[in-house]
Structure 1
Amino acid sequence: MTTTRRPEEPSAVPSDLILSSSPAFGTPVHPINPRRTAPIRAPPGLKPVVKSTVLPILLPPATLRPLAFRTFTKKHNLTLTSSALQALATFVGKHCGAAWREEGLAEKVLEEVAKSWKKCGGQVIVEGDNETLRGILKTLEGSMSGGRIVQGSTLGRQSSFNFGPEIAGGMTRPSLDSNTSFGMSSLQVEDAEDDEDEDMLKDPREWIKVIGAFEQPKLVYNVNQKHFEKCASKPSLFPDPSHKTELFRQRYHIVHQRILRNETFQAPTFSTARSATLSRTGSIATAQMNSITPIANLLGRTGSTHLLLGMLTVSATGALSLSDLTGTITLDIQHARPIPETGVYFAPGMIVLIEGSYEESAGATSNLGGSGGIGGTIGGKFLAFSVGHPPCERRTATLGGVEEVDKNNLVGGPAFGWTDFLGVGSQRANGLRMNKIASNLLDAERAHNVVIASELHLDMPATLSAFRTLLQTYTPDPTDAHPVYPLAIILMGNFSSKATLAGVPGTGSIEYKEHFDALASVLADFQPLIAHTTLIFVPGDNDAWPSAFSAGAATPLPRKPIPTMFTSRVRKAVAEANREIWGAGRSKGKEGEVICTSNPSRLSWFGVKGEMAILRDDVAGRLRRSCIRFNKPPPDVDDEMPYAPSTEREQQDAMDLDLNLPSAPAAAPAPQQPDLDFDTQMARALTRTILSQSHLSPFSLSARPLHWDFAHTLNLYPLPTSVVLADSEAPAFVVKYFGCTVMNPGRIDESDGRGRREGRARWVEFDVRSCTGVVRMEG
């Protein structure tokens, strides 16, 4: 059967037919449909950003000034210099164009620049030639498109960018949401609001920090910008001679700006003048305002009364003079009287307020040291009527209290609330959080004490017996379920009754180390105590190494710590106690430690919440040797001064004396008593003088030498929470003045060999929670 093949129907073959690639193997011919070519889509991460074109404009700084003022000053409490405003105007005009105002592009750019400036820890004053500002603008330039900041860029809140140097220790700066302070903050805690890290620090000792004088940041007061800023140069022990003059200029500027904020030196406002009452003669009795006259402005104003602010100096001829930044004038204190009459010292090197009258010299109207310029000695003399210290300023007035911290109001409040003076944060940034942590950790029913003892002459057996009595007082009963240990024990020199390495027999380096070995033997008997506290050693004038060339005389302040080689046995005793106490499987806490710090030094707790200034120096004896004597005024003369505080203010700021053991932790302000004993009068005079001068050593450099570049470590501005003046020549006392507790522990050894039994000890106990102290005597 023959099969007939049916011819296939022709199919539509495209004209662009691609033949088979293998015709020899009989591969059938088939059409291949061409693929449609589609554009290749780039991944989202590689997709090019289409930037809209912005036509740059020339934006005058004066046009941008109102918007920059609202953003930087009103909202972020920052101040723009003219150079910074010029840099911002150039940047906005180049990258935002003509739509900078209508579409609000400039406001967003300025807002981001202000936030980034705060994240980098910038100062209050924004300067145009600052490397941080240039880095911010450079990074912001790469994050803008069409005049707008691209979302998710490196300037976002979630991924902030550090434009400045990192904080010492490898810490990165916290974000702006945590309200970082202006200055250097080396507190080893994060500023986040999370409580996870806070729960890990249950021991209050974790929040105590010792700041040595050579570790304290140096801030200088800028007179033109009226704020504190970080010193550009690194402090040195061999500074330029001009730094000696800058030392006194800084002291004058700090006291001067403090006085100008006092209410008696404020100019009356318009509302005050309108509300003034009419006197009987029909004239308006306006409020009196005190004004300070520069010394150079006394020329040609003979017979007029003025109020001067300057430093007491002694001229080359031996005459008492007053110097300020404009000149020097000779003082005539024959009829002057101090304010107050008793209870205060005046010595060369102190900055004082003097009210009096100017008298030109006969035959000469002006004599500026023969040079005719500002800064010389003015001819004539100033007849002083009254001499007084500058009014003191409370810590809350300078930094503000916790109740004054308002995150929504960054403009008002204290003068330097955002300034970080010690490197532990500012009051505005960390005050609220630190107060919350302190309230959680500091139990109201338990004592949180810092024990302070001075004059530990380790070469005398009676001192070691007194120190043993101190340790026994704070050793709890072994059966106590919740023992209480002091947070820290501050031991202050002199640790030798004779100058070490001064050539005196028995005062070599070997003997000096043996003295600390004897102290370690005493500490080894109290292992539970030294394993739960911090031992802090502060040197004196007889300690190594400066005593080797000073022979116990006053060495320049600040002083470096005691070398570690002498306290090695003490550290071993504490380390052994830590192994015995904490190595038994108990709950882990902060172990005992030994810290050798400088003289002076600072002790802070909970950041900016509490601050203690510590100084070992015989201040009272130096004040008595160099103080100025005034003629006693008639008994009917009123003891008042124009700038003196009112009676109500005096009662409010009255001193709280705690010479004896009080029954209550905080005593009420004691009324003024005319028949106070000599020790009480000395304690009050020492306290009022030091705090009014805002300096731990208000003397001339010839009376008390200082390292010029490190003299800022002796400033008491802002006023600390407490001050320790370890003075062996003054009686032990605790005085509270203007909210600052001033303490002197005196000598630890009370047994003087005249019938007193050996082992009687005396020291000061300070409670960090209530900021009160008490002089304790046991044995």
Structure 2
Amino acid sequence: MPEPASTSILPILLPPPTLRPLAFRVFTKKHSLTITASSLQSLATFVGRNCGSGWREEGLAELVLDEIAKSWKKAGGGVIVEDTGNGAALLKSILKALEGNMSGGRVIVRDTAKDARGRALISENEVGDGELGKAGSASKGRPDSNEDGLNIGEESGLNDTRRWIKVVGAFEQHRPVYNVNKRNFDIMNIPPSLFPPPSQRANIFRDRYNLIYQRLLRNEAFHIPLQGTSSVSTARRSYKLTSIANLLGRSGTSHLLLGLLSMSPTGDLSLTDPTGSITLDIKYARAVPEDGAWFAPGMIVLVDGVYREEEVVTGSTLSGSGGVGGTIGGKFIVASVGGPPCERREASTGAAHRSGDGDMTVEGGFGWVDFLGVGSERSQGPRMRQIEKMCLHKGQPEEQDNVRKHVVVMSEVNLDVPKTVGALTHVFANYASLPENQLPLVFILIGNFIQHAVMSGGGSGGSIECKEYFDILASVLSSYPRLLQYSTFVFVPGDNDPWASAYSAGSSTTLPRDGIPDLFTSRVRRAFTNANNEHHPQNPHHTPGQAIWSSNPTRLSLFGPVNEIVVFRDDISERLRRTSIVFKPPKTQDDSNTAQNDTTTPDEDMELDKQNDNEPPPPEAEQEAEQKQDQQQQQEQIEKAQQKTPNPTTTIPITQNPTTLHASRKLVKTVLDQSHLSPFPQSIRPVLWDYAPALHLYPLPTAMILADSGADPFAVTYEGCHVMNPGRLIPEGSRSLVRWIEYDVMKRKGGVKEERF
């Protein structure tokens, strides 16, 4: 189709105030974007130069501004269209690409069938979305940016699920920080440093507090009901937070506080928020829910109780009162302590899903924020969900069984233990015998790869001995070239792995920690190179296997912002048992319970935690009976399977007893409620100050691998986040048992497997 003849446009000088009403209607009313004064100046200059005097009468400016807003959203820009910082380069790229597609003041849509890649208004590669953006721009090629009408071609290259897997290390991902004034997240663009200014240490806890505080205010339990509402809506109690500085002069009143648990210099337990600090009296306190979570110094908690002001000693001053910003005089008599309720991932990112009647079920959130560096939910989510459906969710049930959808996770892979070689050989042999369309997508091997920190042993071999252990791993992997050709191997280090163990001597190292150096992993990389060189796949779009030595923690992005898997290696359960606060058991006498309920109502104040808990609290009588029946049925099935097939390699699913299930739920709830991987003081678990945002769990990931060698294996779902612990590869005291986790990315569920080798 021939292009229309271009007409000359006489540029005009368009003042920004004249364009402001039209820009407000297009950007704010239609696309929910905000424009700054500098960006309005750039838009006015662009419209005046390319649309001329017909910008208003012929409606040229409205069409151009609409295309600019669509391109901005499609490219992953923020809510604010700004002409400074990173937004300047993005806006300049959009205007430059749009100007090349204009004729006579109008945007000309090219023939995308002939020139789909080169004539796109703006490609994701131009805005720096990395490999994911490059892959997306090659298949995008459409001028229509309406996300509800995406058309994705049935290309064979898009069907490879491994193409959409991206491993993001802790030192590579974005560093979002919540801005209290803008009520949005800012991506820190200042290069991080290992030696930041001392003020950055205080910012770690301030950022954690602000993140949880805004999350708490978005909870329905903290919404203040409007006047004139019906009695049904006002029947539910709303909760109000009080800052510590506002306790002054309000002795004898009950309040709900949010703050950081810490130990004061005098050895007393205190609560701190940005306005001040107050000493806590937990003599009569109890946890809510009862024995449902850990509470230790370094955590941000909700505290309900009564403030008791100290008596006047001299004049009108309070004894020990430091005023606003310091330690408040008096004590806070705590009645109950609970964690801040968690928020589902859909509510945080604003991931809009259509229900059966076609209505949007979830709206709002921070959909334009690129938390991980793989694209925001609003810009990449709709398209990536279509690709996910094309790759994983086939039309027929029999086709879904032949889809590569598994992630294999093994933890505490101690290469210095002789039995580890036999365990790895057994697991790899089982998966290598599967057909090509059933091979696992990813193998995640988590340290400690060295059981003891030999790097700090001086004369025990040091780096030479560590190199030999990883050479053993290379020889084991070389025996299974099919896995090296068709799967991605991700290696996450532990505290005893080099180089961190050279100075930690096996103690807790700083977080995050970098991957294992190339000095020790050269032969493993060579094994992958040799396997891929010998393999000549028939599919030209085949993605070769690779070995990625990532950091701890690390994150796996599958289909951009749609699926996020966090991998973290830490013995966090043992640290919680050492540092947690022990509350007195509740009284069982009816009189004491009645007296306590008359003075305080901790159950009501902290009931919101249970309401937002996706996993129910410890099972009651009926639930325990159902669990016992399920366990008996599973045990009978296992016994029958063992009688029929006495083969020692039979896979036996692990059934959790009520004690193990309760302990796993308690651990998962503690970590996810804190939205942080290491909610401890710097003296207990040091964190690199500039890289602290990499430890945040906001928004919640779709899945999390919490590799804790001190806890039993489990797989628990809480608030839509599936948390798994593979435990040790070889359980303590066993001779021929091997355990690992197999995670299904289609069902977003994982299970613990156990076999004999």
**After superposition, what is the alpha-carbon deviation per residue over 1:552-585, rounded to whole angstroms, capped at 9, x for unaligned?**
11111111111112112222223333344x2486
Q: Which amino acid counterpart does residue 301 of structure 2 have in structure 1?
A: V
Q: Work out whether 1:620 is the aligned partner of 2:578.
A: no
1:575 corresponds to: 529
Q: Which amino acid counterpart does residue 77 of structure 1 have in structure 2?
A: S
1:762 corresponds to: 739
Q: Which amino acid counterpart does residue 766 of structure 1 have in structure 2?
A: Y
- Conserved? CA contact 1:763–1:776, under 8 Å: yes
Q: Which amino acid counterpart does residue 730 of structure 2 have in structure 1?
A: D
State the distance in 2 between where 1:510 and 1:142 align: 55
The percentage of counterpart residues that share the same residue type is 45
1:35 corresponds to: none
1:692 corresponds to: 673
1:222 corresponds to: 179
2:28 corresponds to: 73
State the distance in 2 between where 1:405 and 1:177 align: 28
1:247 corresponds to: 204
Q: Which amino acid counterpart does residue 296 of structure 2 have in structure 1?
A: A
SS in 1 for 2:172: coil
- Conserved? CA contact 1:620–1:686, under 8 Å: yes
State the shift of 1:324 in Å: 0.8
1:234 corresponds to: 191
690-699 or 222-231: bigger deviation:
222-231
State the distance in 1 between where 2:129 and 2:98 align: 29
State the distance in 1 between where 2:40 and 2:143 align: 25
2:407 corresponds to: 450
1:39 corresponds to: none
State the distance in 2 between where 1:544 and 1:593 align: 21
TM-score normalized with structure 1 length: 0.78
Q: Work out whether 1:525 is the aligned partner of 2:488.
A: no
State the shift of 1:736 in Å: 1.2
SS in 2 for 1:245: helix
Map 1:31-70; keep pairs closer than 5 Å: 49=8, 51=10, 59=17, 67-70=22-25
State the distance in 2 between where 1:677 and 1:159 align: 57
Distance verdict in 2 for CA 1:663–1:263, change over 3 Å:
farther
Give the counterpart of 1:738 among 714, 719, 742: 719
**After superposition, what is the alpha-carbon deviation per residue over 1:219-275, rounded to whole angstroms, capped at 9, x for unaligned?**
1111122111221312222212221121111111111111111111112135xx432
Distance verdict in 2 for CA 1:501–1:347, change over 3 Å:
same
Distance verdict in 2 for CA 1:709–1:661, change over 3 Å:
farther
**After superposition, what is the alpha-carbon deviation per residue over 1:306-351, rounded to whole angstroms, capped at 9, x for unaligned?**
1111110111111111111111111111111110111210001111
**After superposition, what is the alpha-carbon deviation per residue over 1:113-148, rounded to whole angstroms, capped at 9, x for unaligned?**
53454466432123465574599589979999xxx9
State the distance in 1 between where 2:583 and 2:716 align: 26
**After superposition, what is the alpha-carbon deviation per residue over 1:343-399, rounded to whole angstroms, capped at 9, x for unaligned?**
210001111111111111111776698764x32111111111111001111112222
- Conserved? CA contact 1:475–1:529, under 8 Å: yes
Give the counterpart of 1:718 among 676, 699, 722: 699
State the distance in 2 between where 1:461 and 1:139 align: 59
State the distance in 2 between where 1:113 and 1:131 align: 16
Q: Work out whether 1:261 is the aligned partner of 2:221.
A: no
1:17 corresponds to: none
State the shift of 1:529 in Å: 2.9
Give the counterpart of 2:347 among 381, 389, 397: 397
Q: Work out whether 1:345 is the aligned partner of 2:299.
A: no
**After superposition, what is the alpha-carbon deviation per residue over 1:270-290, rounded to whole angstroms, capped at 9, x for unaligned?**
5xx43216xxxxxx9654211
1:468 corresponds to: 425
Distance verdict in 2 for CA 1:251–1:105, change over 3 Å:
same
2:646 corresponds to: none
Q: Work out whether 1:555 is the aligned partner of 2:514.
A: no
SS in 1 for 2:433: coil
SS in 2 for 1:331: strand
Give the counterpart of 1:195 among 153, 175, 192: 153
State the distance in 2 between where 1:155 and 1:336 align: 69
Map 1:648-727; keep pairs closer than 5 Å: 677-727=658-708
State the shift of 1:616 in Å: 0.7
State the distance in 2 between where 1:380 and 1:132 align: 49
**After superposition, what is the alpha-carbon deviation per residue over 1:688-710, rounded to whole angstroms, capped at 9, x for unaligned?**
10011111111111110001111
State the distance in 2 between where 1:653 and 1:398 align: 22
497-506 or 707-716: bigger deviation:
497-506
130-139 or 208-217: bigger deviation:
130-139
Give the counterpart of 2:77 among 110, 115, 122: 122
State the shift of 1:545 in Å: 0.5
SS in 2 for 1:705: coil
State the shift of 1:301 in Å: 1.2
Any unmatched runs of 5+ in structure 1? 1-43, 182-190, 278-283, 665-674
Q: Work out whether 1:306 is the aligned partner of 2:255.
A: yes
Give the counterpart of 1:632 among 582, 585, 589: 585
State the shift of 1:111 in Å: 3.5
1:595 corresponds to: 548
1:539 corresponds to: 493
Q: Which amino acid counterpart does residue 298 of structure 1 have in structure 2?
A: L
Which structure is larger by alpha-carbon Rg, 1 or 2? 1
State the shift of 1:645 in Å: 3.4
1:151 corresponds to: 106
- Conserved? CA contact 1:67–1:107, under 8 Å: yes
State the distance in 2 between where 1:89 and 1:286 align: 52
State the shift of 1:714 in Å: 1.0
State the distance in 1 between where 2:146 and 2:557 align: 18
1:424 corresponds to: 374
Q: Work out whether 1:641 is the aligned partner of 2:608.
A: no
SS in 1 for 2:605: coil
- Conserved? CA contact 1:118–1:176, under 8 Å: no
Aligned length: 691
Distance verdict in 2 for CA 1:150–1:67, change over 3 Å:
closer
Map 1:266-277; keep pairs closer than 5 Å: 266-270=223-227, 273-276=228-231
Distance verdict in 2 for CA 1:586–1:253, change over 3 Å:
closer
2:652 corresponds to: none
1:20 corresponds to: none
356-365 or 612-621: bigger deviation:
356-365
State the shift of 1:504 in Å: 4.5
438-447 or 132-141: bigger deviation:
132-141
State the distance in 1 between where 2:351 and 2:618 align: 21
State the distance in 1 between where 2:109 and 2:23 align: 23
Distance verdict in 2 for CA 1:89–1:618, change over 3 Å:
same
- Conserved? CA contact 2:51–2:105, under 8 Å: no
SS in 1 for 2:209: helix
SS in 2 for 1:306: strand
Q: Work out whether 1:213 is the aligned partner of 2:167.
A: no
2:333 corresponds to: 383
Distance verdict in 2 for CA 1:68–1:163, change over 3 Å:
farther
State the shift of 1:201 in Å: 3.4
State the distance in 1 between where 2:268 and 2:557 align: 43
State the shift of 1:103 in Å: 6.7
1:28 corresponds to: none
State the distance in 1 between where 2:701 and 2:85 align: 32
State the shift of 1:427 in Å: 2.5
1:514 corresponds to: 468
SS in 1 for 2:432: coil
Q: CA RMSD in A?
A: 4.2
SS in 2 for 1:221: strand
Distance verdict in 2 for CA 1:583–1:650, change over 3 Å:
closer
Any unmatched runs of 5+ in structure 2? 113-118, 393-398, 620-626, 636-655
**After superposition, what is the alpha-carbon deviation per residue over 1:71-106, rounded to whole angstroms, capped at 9, x for unaligned?**
222211212456656887899899999998777576
Q: Which amino acid counterpart does residue 755 of structure 2 have in structure 1?
A: E
State the distance in 2 between where 1:246 and 1:58 align: 38
Select the structure that is richer in helix. 2
- Conserved? CA contact 2:74–2:380, under 8 Å: no
